[in-house]
């Protein structure tokens, strides 16, 4: 379980997170949504332990979310940080050297499912195919938590559809949790158990997808749009 308690994060005079509190349970697929600048990427970086809070705490299964948490959490950043001179196979070799939970067999299964060659050079792959490789490398880890920042960003609908299927097929919700931020809510809505809506560094809403539909009669995007507009009113 992930507990975020009064988390604040500032970059100079810009406050990205403002006393944000949140509890995310194990065994769910949870979406983090909000407009640009709402704090999505900052929250995920802090949960993943790659960025530290200005104040407040984040605990994952009772442990502080620092760089050591990478042993049980697989983080997929929005930025493309892979070495361009690697082949996909060499990238997997690197992951195996860095993460004791990396399951190369599983990573190759995901890669095969997503139709990318193990011998492909990272520098020669399209953005969509690099996204597939990033997904395969991340899901190749047998982590309790997968944290993915905009995994579908800039990809065409067919690529996004393949990645969504991969997330369903290669995540075991008996013991794993998937947390992802995305602007592509309509396409991932079928995946989600819960949705956290951020606005200006705070949690505007945290709801079960079933409750949103049952109580409002709206689809998720319309619900988010109406709620965000209401939250902006003085």
Place of tokens 């009113």: 233
Predicted confidence (pLDDT) at residue 234 exceeds the cutoff of 60: no
Share of the chain above pLDDT 70, in %: 98
Both structure tokens of 110: 């995901």
Q: Could you tell me the residue ranges of all domains in the chain?
A: 2-232
Predicted TM-score (pTM) of this structure: 0.91
**In CATH, what is the architecture of 2-232?**
3-Layer(aba) Sandwich (3.40)
Tell me, what's the pLDDT at 87? 95
- b/e string for 93-108 if b means 16 or more Cβ within 10 A? eebeeebeebbeeebb
Q: What is the pLDDT of residues 114-155, one digit of tens each?
A: 999 999 999 999 888 888 899 999 999 999 999 999 988 777
Is the per-residue pLDDT at 216 higher than 90?
A: no
Residue 79 CA to residue 154 CA, distance in Å, equals 12
Q: What Rg value do the Cα atoms of the chain yield, rounded?
A: 18
């Amino acid at each position: 379980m992930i507990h975020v308690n009064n988390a604040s994060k500032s970059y100079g005079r810009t406050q990205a997170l403002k006393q944000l509190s949140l509890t995310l349970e194990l065994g769910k697929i949870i979406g983090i949504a909000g407009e640009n600048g709402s704090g999505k990427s900052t929250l995920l970086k802090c949960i993943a332990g790659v960025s530290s809070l200005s104040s407040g705490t984040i605990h994952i299964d009772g442990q502080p979310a620092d760089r050591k948490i990478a042993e049980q959490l697989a983080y997929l950043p929005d930025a493309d940080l892979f070495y361009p001179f690697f082949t996909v196979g060499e990238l997997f070799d690197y992951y195996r050297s860095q993460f004791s939970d990396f399951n190369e067999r599983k990573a190759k299964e995901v890669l095969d499912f997503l139709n990318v060659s193990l011998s492909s050079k990272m520098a020669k792959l399209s953005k969509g195919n690099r996204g597939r490789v990033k997904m395969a490398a991340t899901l190749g880890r047998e982590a309790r938590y997968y944290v993915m920042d905009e995994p579908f960003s800039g990809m065409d609908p067919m690529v996004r559809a393949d990645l969504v299927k991969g997330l369903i097929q290669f995540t075991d919700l008996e013991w794993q949790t998937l947390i992802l931020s995305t602007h592509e809510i309509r396409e991932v809505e079928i995946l989600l158990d819960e949705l956290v809506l951020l606005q200006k560094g705070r949690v505007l809403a945290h709801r079960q997808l079933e409750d949103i539909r049952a109580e409002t009669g709206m689809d998720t995007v319309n619900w988010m749009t109406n709620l965000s507009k209401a939250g902006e009113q003085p």
